[in-house]
Copies of this chain bind each other. A is one copy, B any other.
């Protein structure tokens, strides 16, 4: 990580308020992952009433926080200041696409279909749309362009059951759906792709774009590395802070609850801070 004068400080976090009918086990993925381009400078986690938690690492390497929500009104909040590079998402047009036989073993799982990314169903369509595109980064970019241009962003259009095929058919979705469809096309072409979600501050973004705070994108494996792609915004961004990744949104839900609780409100923030501590704006 670049710790020099180019460092960016971002305040990230979220607050969730539940009404819990009976003790409800839950798993949270809200902490920025360790390593990579960023470092957590300061963080606080709280539950009201207090609840014991423990952390573990899931199959995909994500740091999960597990606790049981007690009955009654419960408030869970996470707040952190993260130092990260001020550089835009990295781009290298010369990275090459691997032959499947050259992929590392642990990457193969990201070439297969998953709950929401039905690359088996759309295999022929993917080949038809992108089979004659140049290989490598250009191919993934062609996929992102297509998805960006052919899916209309509409809040409230997708449900927890919406797959990439539904989105391909209907032509509407949210950032999760853009990522799912692009991942699906990549896998159908044997390019490993994984779903990522994290905080995305609104830095140097022209007005028409809505504030996103919390966002899903994806990574494709090219030239021996995972590269960031964001078909929703379809642009390089600053300050993207990765929380977790997996095969699709199902592997990396921000919160998974088991049982009788109602989520009453959720607030997420991701704001650049300039004095190393105060938030750029308040969230309620």
Question: Contacts A59-B109, A100-B258, A111-B258: A120 and B169 contacting too (C-beta < 8 A)?
Answer: no
Copies of this chain: 4
A71 in the interface (beta carbon within 8 A):
no
| Contact status of A109 and B250, CB under 8 A, knowing A122-B169, A125-B171, A258-B190 | no
- Judge if A256 is at the interface, Cβ distance under 8 Å: yes
Docked pose: A60 CA to B250 CA in angstroms: 17
Segment at the B interface, from A4-12, A36-44, A89-97, A160-168: A160-168
Chain B residues lying within 8 Å of A259, measured Cβ to Cβ, are 100, 190
A interface residues (Cβ-Cβ under 8 A, vs B): 23, 25, 27, 56, 58-60, 64, 66, 68, 99-101, 105-106, 108-109, 111-115, 118, 120-122, 124-125, 128, 150, 152, 160-161, 165, 168-172, 190, 250-251, 256, 258-259
User: Is B120 within 8 A of A25, CB to CB?
Assistant: no
Contacts of A168 in B (CB 8 A): 169
Residue contact B171 to A124, C-beta cutoff 8 Å: yes
Known: A100-B259, A124-B172, A169-B169. A113 touches B250 (CB 8 A): yes
The reply to whether B120 and A161 form a contact with Cβ atoms under 8 Å apart is yes
Complex contact A101–B250 (CB within 8 A): no
Name 19 interchain pairs, CB-CB below 8 A, sorted by A. Answer: A23-B101, A25-B99, A25-B100, A56-B105, A58-B109, A59-B60, A64-B105, A66-B108, A113-B115, A114-B115, A115-B115, A115-B118, A121-B170, A124-B170, A125-B170, A128-B150, A128-B171, A168-B169, A169-B169
Contact B121 A169, beta carbon cutoff 8 Å: yes
Considering residues A115, A118, A161, A171, which has the most beta carbons from chain B within 10 angstroms of its beta carbon?
Answer: A115
Question: Min CB distance, A272 to chain B, in Å?
Answer: 35
Nearest CB of B to A195, in Å? 14
| List of 10 A-B pairs having minimum Cβ-Cβ separation, nearest first | A124-B171, A56-B105, A25-B100, A100-B258, A25-B101, A68-B101, A59-B59, A115-B115, A121-B169, A125-B171
A112–B256 contact, CB under 8 A? yes
